[in-house]
Structure 1
Amino acid sequence: MIVRISVLPLFLALPLALIGCNSKPVNAAADARHMDEEINAARQDLSKIPPPSKNLYMSISSMNEWQNPSLTVQEKMISIHVLMRDANPSDLGKGTMLRPEAARKQILNIDPANLAEALNAIPKDAWPYGRVVAIEEAHDAPPKARAQLRRNIEKAIDTLGNIGVVADEWNGDRPVGVR
């Protein structure tokens, strides 16, 4: 019995194997330096937004009333909810079918490592309460993911503190406390 081996699949696989071997080692020091630069840039830009005004946001009792950016922390990403400013300054038709508030809401899904950069990109007029964000866990996460969500929230709160943004933590449409 003669077994024939086709050489064609080997020739086709060889370039793919060589391409896969060209990865560069990760330079942790360069990555850390890049993250520090992003945080410093975000801190400088966000300092142009006034400090948080407690008399404006402490009386909010529902996430539906919250007008500053808010964060929903999930296992592998963070959703940033932004309510953009109404471009029409008049009160005529405000909140009606012609000018619904929902049309001004935007949701951005980001990698947690890009939180400082993403908050820095939000327009300054989308921060009516000052430098404060509401932060909450994802509501539909499975119970086994709660520990990871808690770690992600702590990392996000740490990043927020580094860039000078106050975190107002919420749990199921109830404020928990400010950090």
Structure 2
Amino acid sequence: MNPTLTVQENMLELRVVLADPNPSSYGAGGMLRPVNARRQVLNISFDKLGDALAAIPQDAWPYGRVVAIEEAHKVPANAMPAIRRSVEKTVDKLTDLGVVAYDPADGNIR
């Protein structure tokens, strides 16, 4: 699973699932090798996005340099314009970094 970003008004939530270091399929995802133990959730500022993406190991990008991006959920209606502007700002930054932004809500690649 590639990294995902949830865009909020003043920050980003970056979710990364690190690759399983054990090449054997025995016990994968089970009690001894749970996926959640490799999952990381980071709250970062917009200006640290490039550094955060550069720090992600190559094996955490199984589909190449593609990030799923979504707007924050359960926010007041009056905050939505600011979040939409933050999404556009984030997509522009991802493009500058050579990372493709995929919006699973509408299936668009930006």
TM band (smaller chain): over 0.9
Contact 1:116/1:163 (<8 A) preserved = yes
Matched, 1:83 2:17: yes
Tell me the matched-pair count. 110
Equivalent residue for 2:103?
169
2:47 aligned to which of 77, 88, 113? 113
Equivalent residue for 1:125?
59
Instruction: Give me the TM-score of the superposition, normalised by structure 2.
Output: 0.95
Matched, 1:178 2:109: yes
SS in 1 for 2:107: strand
CA deviation after TM superposition for structure 1 residue 98, in Å = 1.2
SS in 2 for 1:97: coil
Equivalent residue for 2:88?
154
Deviations 1:23-78 (A, max 9, x none): xxxxxxxxxxxxxxxxxxxxxxxxxxxxxxxxxxxxxxxxxxxx000000011110
Deviations 1:65-99 (A, max 9, x none): xx000000011110000000101110111111111
Counterpart amino acid of 1:147? P
Distance 1:113 1:151 in 2: 15
Moved over 3 A (4+): none
1:93 aligned to which of 27, 32, 37? 27
Equivalent residue for 1:71?
5
Counterpart amino acid of 1:133? V
Counterpart amino acid of 2:62? P
Contact 1:74/1:141 (<8 A) preserved = no
Unaligned 5+ segments in structure 1 are: 1-66
Greater gyration radius: 1
Counterpart amino acid of 1:99? R
Contact 1:160/1:166 (<8 A) preserved = yes
CA deviation after TM superposition for structure 1 residue 124, in Å = 1.1
Unaligned 5+ segments in structure 2 are: none
Q: Which has the higher strand share?
A: 2
Matched, 1:103 2:34: no
